[in-house]
Structure 1
Amino acid sequence: MRWTLYPKPDPQKINELTEALGIDSNIASLLLQRGIETFEEAKDFFRPSLDNLHDPFLMKDMDKAVARIEKAIANQENILVYGDYDVDGTTSVALVASYLKTYYPKVHTYIPDRYDEGYGVSYLGIDFAADNDFSLIIALDCGIKAIEKVAYASEKGVDFIICDHHRPGPEIPKAIAVLDPKREDCAYPYKELCGCGVGFKLIQALSEKRGLVLDDLLLYLDLVATAIGADIVPITGENRILAYYGLKVINSNPRNGFKAILKQLKKETLTITDVVFTIAPRINAAGRMKHGNYAVTLLTETDLKLAETYAAEIEVFNTDRRSADKEITEAALLQIKNNKEEDRNTTVVYDPSWHKGVIGIVASRLTETYYRPTLVFTKSGDRLAASARSVKGFDVYNALESCSEHIEQFGGHMYAAGLTLLEKDFENFKAAFERVVSETIEPNMLVPEIKINEEIHLNAITPKFYRILKQFAPFGPGNMTPVFMSRNLKDTGWGKCVGDEKSHLRITVQQDNSPQFACIGFGMGDKLAIATGAEPFKAAYVIDENEWQGTISLQLRLKDITL
């Protein structure tokens, strides 16, 4: 791993912020790294306020979207709320549908089948709408590239409102309204909303027209926070406010679907990381292993007993997902080894039997192992479908765009994308992808990076220091958990490998005459010799809490150690 230390902010600014806030200079430095330079900015950061959310009508076409929904309600039209089968899509559908149903009954939901229909707006979904007298589809977390499909719907007398957050292509669909902050002609101040975030702006606009206030929408924010975490969008600006209040709802008054999941987990207070690794995989498992409808049903259920039944079903899907994920990852790693492809700049693997629902997870696992842009393909009908994952700093979406002559369809973000192509084009695509990545990626991007915020002495780690650090949460892209570095550390003599396979490192460290701190390094068992050797070492770590037999103490969660 390469360690990169953030540049030290201007010492004068550190002093000014330290005095203005009455805080430690290390905390002031962390705030400045996040672009927070004044007392007022710090206040907004530490005390996120719903008052700082932007006016939803600043988003292009919002007025048209609201007018069309109001017209549908006035004319007693049937409205179909349509969304993708992943966490962002299913939470978006649950959000908008449950909101509309509070005052209008003729609202139904539709999630495309991952296998029969694939990602995004489908012709089958449009036919379903037309055949069942739905004259308005509200598409969430998809649709920004559905040019032909929106035109097809129009011919069938079905109007579209699109709420998306993916990058548009050169043409915008001719829908009644297209809400997407990433549109070049959209002046909305915050561009990084997830699909559920765009859905929230829609219900915020509808609420304003109905004379409601933001507090009336608080209970929908558990869904928004879950989507923000799962979709790995930046936790800055509006996303940070929405995630902050959404976590409060999850921890104090969650919807019954979440209550049912949390009851199985037996965990009391959830962070955004807990949401990403506990709630999100279960919601995702429905669409991966069975059908996304199961997730929407769970998230909109008002009867707790029924919600518990649905959550138990989804837990089975999640267990199956874990098993498929492990099996396919092992097979993919073997394929790379057998094909002697360890030295490439990309990973591209394919097996027609692999479960389409887990190839995205497998792509993430392979990226962890080989740390390079990765594509995992499987058979999907008469096409091949793939999930793409990237490494820090490399735009896999742009790389796919450069290979588009071999691709039928693709979409996504800088770090995650999906595509389909014809089987005859696979080898040509694989060669083109390797060539494009090799020509454009910087060599250091292929080495995992630890970005270190501050070098500190262990004496700086006090309960008060940690109490303020906790207030930097919720953490995520754009506001990552602070990583610290300390030098000249020594193990106090109790270092050992722990865990079923002895793959984790547990040590207790001291620096000069500092207090001693317990450390855990997950997957770092191979570093035991460095930790327990005669030479002092340096460590990169985050600070967190460890609870043992009812006692809570500060511990260091190691990211890496080296001499």
Structure 2
Amino acid sequence: MKWISKQSPENKKIEQLSFELGIDKTLSKLLVMRGIDDFEKAKKFFRPTLNDLHDPFLMKDMQKAVDRILLAIQKEEAILIYGDYDVDGTTAVSLVYSYLREFYPKVATYIPDRYEEGYGISFQGIDFASDNEITLIIALDCGIKAIDKVLYAKEKGIDFIICDHHRPGETIPAAAAVLDPKRTDCPYPYDELCGCGVGFKLIQALQFARGLAQKALYEYLDLVAIAIAADIVPVTGENRILATYGLKMINENPRPGIEAMLKSSTKSHYTITDLVFTLAPRINAAGRMKHGRYAVEILTERNIDKAQKYAEVIEINNQDRRAVEQEIEKEALAQIIELQEENQFSTVVYAEHWHKGVIGIVASRLIENYYRPTLVFTSSNGKLAASARSVSGFDVYNALEECAEFIEQFGGHKYAAGLTLLPENYDHFKRKFEEVVKNSIPETSLEPQILVDSEIDLTEITPKFYRVLKQFGPFGPMNMKPVFLTTGLRDNGYGRKVGADEKHLKVNVIGGGEGQTYGAIGFGLGHKYPVICSGKPFDAVFTIEENHFNGQVSLQLNLKDICAEDLS
């Protein structure tokens, strides 16, 4: 890994903020690097409040959406809440459905089958609505490119309200309302909401229109926090406020489904990272291995005993998902070697039998082995479907746009996307994608990097320092845990490889003029053991965290990498 130090801001700004806040200069530097350079900005950062959420009616078409829903309720129309099968989609459906059913009975949910219908709005889903005399569909986390589907629904007397956050195409669907902060004609001040976040803005607007207190909506923010974590959206601005209060709900008063899924966990406090690695995979497993409707069932269930039964089934799905994912990853790695493609600028692999539900996870895993934009294809309903994942600094969505001549359909974000194409276009696409990546990927994106926020001496890491640092959270994209660099460290002699396969590193590091000692863990750094056992000084990049063990809480360093000048 390449260590890159971030550019330090002006000393004058750092010193001024340090004085105003009465905090360590290193902490002040970290704040200024995040654009927080005066007392008022710091106050908003450290004390996020729901009063700072934007007016939902600033979003293009929000008034139209609210008027159409209230008209449907007045005319006693049946409403269908339709969403994608991933975490963002299922949490969004659970949120809007839970809100509406509190005061309106004629509301149902629909999650498309990943394998029969594919991503987004389907003709089958519209036919389901028509067969059940549903005249309004609220689509969440999908629909921004469903031009033909919306027209098909209109022919059947069905209106659509689209709540999406993906990039629109050149044409906006002719729906009753299209809520998407990424619309070029949308004046909403924050465009990084996830699909569930857009759903929350919709119910916030409905609550305003009904003349009811906004406080009643706070119970839904647990779902928004999970979606923010799972969809890897920036934890800045409005997302940071929503995530802060959503995590508060999860930690203090979790809904039955969340409580049931967390029952086997030993943690007493959950962060965004915990949601990514604990809750999100379980919610996703339902849609990946069985059907996304199971995720909606557990997230909307009010009875803890029923929720526990759902959780047991989902846990089995999650274990199955892991086994399938590991097998596909093994086959994909073998394919790359067999085709002698280790040195290409992109990774594109395909096998018709690979499970469509886990190819996105496998793509992420392949990036850990070969650091480059990656697509994993499988067969699906006579076509090839792929999940794309990218590396830092490379926009895979833009790259796919340049390959559009060979693609049937695609959508997504800068770092994650999905697409389908005809089997006869696979080789053409693969060559074109490699060409596009080769000609456009920045050199800095060709190797994994660790961005270092600040160099620090171990003596600076005090309980007070960590108490302030902890309030920088919740951490996530664009507000990551600060990464520190310390040089001239030594192992106290008890460093060792740990874990069943000895993949990890456990060490007590000594550094600083006063010989300060801290425990440290390096996940996946077992191969660096020779660096620490040589007896020579080494440098380390790390984050700081709390270690809970046997009822005791201590600070420890979470090592990201270590190196010594005279060792490779």
Following superposition, the deviation at residue 496 of structure 1 comes to 1.4
1: CA distance, partners of 2:126 / 2:551: 56
2: CA distance, partners of 1:48 / 1:182: 24
Q: Which stretch shows the higher mean deviation, 448-457 or 545-554?
A: 545-554
Letter in 1 for 2:195: G
2: CA distance, partners of 1:166 / 1:460: 43
1:541-552 alignment runs, 5 A limit: 541-552=542-553
1: CA distance, partners of 2:295 / 2:549: 35
Which residue of 1 is the match for residue 514 of structure 2?
Answer: 513
Which residue of 1 is the match for residue 528 of structure 2?
Answer: 527
1:42 aligns with 2:42: yes
Which residue of 1 is the match for residue 486 of structure 2?
Answer: 486
Following superposition, the deviation at residue 532 of structure 1 comes to 2.1
Following superposition, the deviation at residue 53 of structure 1 comes to 0.1
2: CA distance, partners of 1:277 / 1:496: 26
Which residue of 2 is the match for residue 87 of structure 1?
Answer: 87
1:377 aligns with 2:374: no
2: CA distance, partners of 1:16 / 1:213: 40
CA RMSD of aligned residues (A): 0.8
TM-score of the two chains, using structure 1 as the length reference: 0.99
Letter in 1 for 2:237: G
1: CA distance, partners of 2:49 / 2:540: 36
Contact 2:79–2:134 (CA<8 Å) still a contact in 1?
Answer: yes
Q: Deviations over 1:34-70 (max 9, x none)?
A: 1101111111111110000000000000000000000
2: CA distance, partners of 1:470 / 1:538: 24
Give 3-state SS (helix, strand or coil) of 1:161's partner: strand
2: CA distance, partners of 1:127 / 1:215: 37
Which residue of 1 is the match for residue 559 of structure 2?
Answer: 558
Q: Deviations over 1:173-193 (max 9, x none)?
A: 000000000000000000000
1:389 aligns with 2:400: no
Which residue of 1 is the match for residue 467 of structure 2?
Answer: 467
Following superposition, the deviation at residue 428 of structure 1 comes to 0.6
1:537 aligns with 2:528: no
Which residue of 2 is the match for residue 119 of structure 1?
Answer: 119
2: CA distance, partners of 1:315 / 1:490: 42
Give 3-state SS (helix, strand or coil) of 1:516's partner: strand
Following superposition, the deviation at residue 159 of structure 1 comes to 0.2
2: CA distance, partners of 1:266 / 1:494: 27
Which residue of 1 is the match for residue 8 of structure 2?
Answer: 8
Which residue of 2 is the match for residue 19 of structure 1?
Answer: 19
Which residue of 2 is the match for residue 345 of structure 1?
Answer: 345
Following superposition, the deviation at residue 509 of structure 1 comes to 1.1
Following superposition, the deviation at residue 534 of structure 1 comes to 3.7
Query: Closer, same or farther in 2 for the Cα pair 1:514/1:214, shift >3 Å?
Result: farther
1: CA distance, partners of 2:480 / 2:259: 27
Give 3-state SS (helix, strand or coil) of 2:378's partner: strand
Following superposition, the deviation at residue 528 of structure 1 comes to 1.2
1: CA distance, partners of 2:96 / 2:383: 33
Following superposition, the deviation at residue 443 of structure 1 comes to 2.1
Contact 1:50–1:214 (CA<8 Å) still a contact in 2?
Answer: no
1: CA distance, partners of 2:253 / 2:535: 52
Which residue of 2 is the match for residue 326 of structure 1?
Answer: 326
2: CA distance, partners of 1:483 / 1:84: 35
2: CA distance, partners of 1:562 / 1:263: 39
Which residue of 2 is the match for residue 101 of structure 1?
Answer: 101
Structure 1's consecutive aligned runs of 4 or more residues displaced over 4 angstroms after TM superposition are: none
Letter in 2 for 1:544: E
Give 3-state SS (helix, strand or coil) of 2:263's partner: helix
2: CA distance, partners of 1:5 / 1:505: 24
Give aligned pairs, total: 563
1: CA distance, partners of 2:150 / 2:467: 51
Which residue of 1 is the match for residue 355 of structure 2?
Answer: 355
Following superposition, the deviation at residue 551 of structure 1 comes to 1.8
Which residue of 2 is the match for residue 457 of structure 1?
Answer: 457
Which residue of 2 is the match for residue 432 of structure 1?
Answer: 432
Following superposition, the deviation at residue 265 of structure 1 comes to 2.3
2: CA distance, partners of 1:205 / 1:425: 45
Contact 1:390–1:396 (CA<8 Å) still a contact in 2?
Answer: yes
Contact 1:247–1:270 (CA<8 Å) still a contact in 2?
Answer: yes
2: CA distance, partners of 1:222 / 1:327: 33
Which residue of 2 is the match for residue 137 of structure 1?
Answer: 137
Letter in 2 for 1:548: F
1:52-91 alignment runs, 5 A limit: 52-91=52-91
Contact 1:97–1:108 (CA<8 Å) still a contact in 2?
Answer: yes
Letter in 1 for 2:401: E
Contact 2:491–2:535 (CA<8 Å) still a contact in 1?
Answer: no
Contact 1:377–1:386 (CA<8 Å) still a contact in 2?
Answer: yes
1: CA distance, partners of 2:319 / 2:524: 23
Which residue of 2 is the match for residue 282 of structure 1?
Answer: 282
1: CA distance, partners of 2:545 / 2:21: 23
Q: Deviations over 1:511-563 (max 9, x none)?
A: 14231011111111111111222431111000111222222111111001112
Contact 2:285–2:318 (CA<8 Å) still a contact in 1?
Answer: yes
1: CA distance, partners of 2:221 / 2:118: 28
2: CA distance, partners of 1:451 / 1:531: 22
Following superposition, the deviation at residue 211 of structure 1 comes to 1.5
Letter in 2 for 1:108: A
Contact 2:393–2:442 (CA<8 Å) still a contact in 1?
Answer: no
Give 3-state SS (helix, strand or coil) of 1:490's partner: strand
Give 3-state SS (helix, strand or coil) of 2:268's partner: coil
Letter in 2 for 1:391: V
Letter in 2 for 1:532: C
Letter in 1 for 2:414: M
Following superposition, the deviation at residue 499 of structure 1 comes to 1.0
Q: Deviations over 1:247-281 (max 9, x none)?
A: 00001111111011111324321111111111110
Contact 2:86–2:284 (CA<8 Å) still a contact in 1?
Answer: yes
Give 3-state SS (helix, strand or coil) of 2:516's partner: coil
1:122-521 alignment runs, 5 A limit: 122-511=122-511, 512-521=513-522
1: CA distance, partners of 2:383 / 2:266: 42
Contact 1:373–1:389 (CA<8 Å) still a contact in 2?
Answer: yes
2: CA distance, partners of 1:190 / 1:172: 20
Following superposition, the deviation at residue 464 of structure 1 comes to 0.7
2: CA distance, partners of 1:63 / 1:496: 61
2: CA distance, partners of 1:533 / 1:441: 38
Give 3-state SS (helix, strand or coil) of 1:23's partner: coil
1: CA distance, partners of 2:266 / 2:25: 38
Give 3-state SS (helix, strand or coil) of 1:507's partner: strand
Q: Percent identity?
A: 62
Following superposition, the deviation at residue 444 of structure 1 comes to 2.1
Structure 1 gap ranges (5+)? none
Letter in 2 for 1:398: N
Q: Deviations over 1:6-26 (max 9, x none)?
A: 111110101110011000000
